[in-house]
Chains A and B, each alone.
Chain A
Amino acid sequence: MDYLLSILIIAGIYIILTMSLNLIVGYTGLLSLGHVAFFSVGAYTSSLLALNYGLSPWIGLIVGACFAALLGVVVSFPALRVKGDYLAIATFGFAMIAYSISNNWVSVTRGPLGLPGIPTFSIFDFYLSETWSYLLLVIFFVFLTYFIIRRIVNSPFGRILNGIREDEIATLAMGKDVNRQKILVFVISAFFAGIAGSLYAHYITFIDPSSFTVMESIIILLMVVFGGMGSLSGSFVGASTLVIFPEVLSFLNVPTPIAAPLRQMIYGLLLVILMLKRPQGILGKYKFR
Chain B
Amino acid sequence: MIEQFLTNGIIAGSVYALIALGFTIIYRTVKFFHFAHGVVYTAGAYLAYTFCILLGVNLIISLLFAAILAGIIGIAIDKLVYFPLRTQKAPNLVFLVASFGVFIFIQNLIQLIYGAQVLTVNTSPATEGYNIFGAFITGVQILILAVCCLLLIILWLFFQKTKAGKAMRAVADDPTAASIVGIYPEKIIFLSFAIGSALAGAAGILISLETNIVPTMGLDAVLKGIIASIIGGIGSVPGAMLGGFLLGIVENLGIMIIPAGWKDTITFAILIIFLLFRPSGILGKKVDEERL
Contact = CB atoms under 8 A, between A and B. Distances in A.
B98 A271 contact: yes
Q: Which 5 A-B pairs have the closest CB atoms?
A: A271-B101, A268-B105, A268-B104, A275-B98, A272-B101
A264 B116 CA distance: 13
B149 interface: no
A101 B269 CA distance: 12
B182 interface: no
Contacts of B94: 275, 279, 287-288
B262 A104 contact: yes
A179 B100 CA distance: 28
Given A104-B262, A215-B104, A289 B97 contact: no
Given A103-B261, A225-B97, A272-B98, A214 B219 contact: yes
Contact of A289 (B93, B105, B219, B261): B93
A214 B107 CA distance: 14
B105 A96 contact: no
Contact of A104 (B98, B116, B261, B275): B261
Interface residues of A, number: 48
A90 B109 CA distance: 28
A289 B92 CA distance: 8
Contacts of B132: none
A149 B92 CA distance: 28
Contact of A264 (B108, B115, B264, B269): B108
Interface stretch (B83-91, B137-145, B154-162, B199-207): B83-91
9 contacts: A31-B97, A81-B276, A82-B292, A92-B223, A270-B101, A276-B84, A279-B90, A287-B91, A288-B91
A262 B275 contact: no
Contacts of B108: 261-262, 264-265, 268
Main secondary structure of the interface of B (DSSP, over half): helix
Nearest to B265: A100
Given A97-B268, A260-B116, 15 more contacts: A78-B276, A90-B271, A93-B271, A96-B264, A104-B259, A104-B262, A215-B219, A257-B116, A272-B81, A275-B95, A275-B97, A275-B101, A276-B85, A287-B91, A288-B90
Contact of B268 (A81, A93, A289): A93
A8 interface: no
Interface string A209-239: 0000011001001100100000000000000
Nearest to A92: B223
A183 to B, nearest CB: 14
A84 B93 CA distance: 7
Contacts, number: 145
A110 interface: no
Contacts of B101: 222, 267-272, 274-275
A88 interface: yes
Given A101-B265, A261-B111, A275-B101, A31 B96 contact: yes
Contacts of A225: 97
Given A81-B279, A258-B112, A261-B111, A271 B261 contact: no
B16 interface: no
Interface string A246-284: 000000000001101110110111111011100100000
Contacts of B32: 85
- Most chain A beta carbons < 10 A, residue from B100, B108, B115: B100
Contacts of A84: 92-93, 291-292
Interface string B215-259: 000010001001000100000000000000000000000000001
B102 interface: yes
A86 interface: yes
Nearest to A91: B272
B223 A96 contact: yes
A53 to B, nearest CB: 26
Nearest to B260: A104
B219 A265 contact: no
Contacts of B261: 100, 103-104
Interface string A30-47: 010000000000000000
A89 B33 contact: yes
A36 to B, nearest CB: 13
Nearest to B275: A90
B104 A85 contact: no
A276 B134 CA distance: 55
B214 to A, nearest CB: 13
Nearest to B226: A89
Contacts of B95: 275
B279 A82 contact: yes
Contacts of B85: 275-276
B46 interface: no
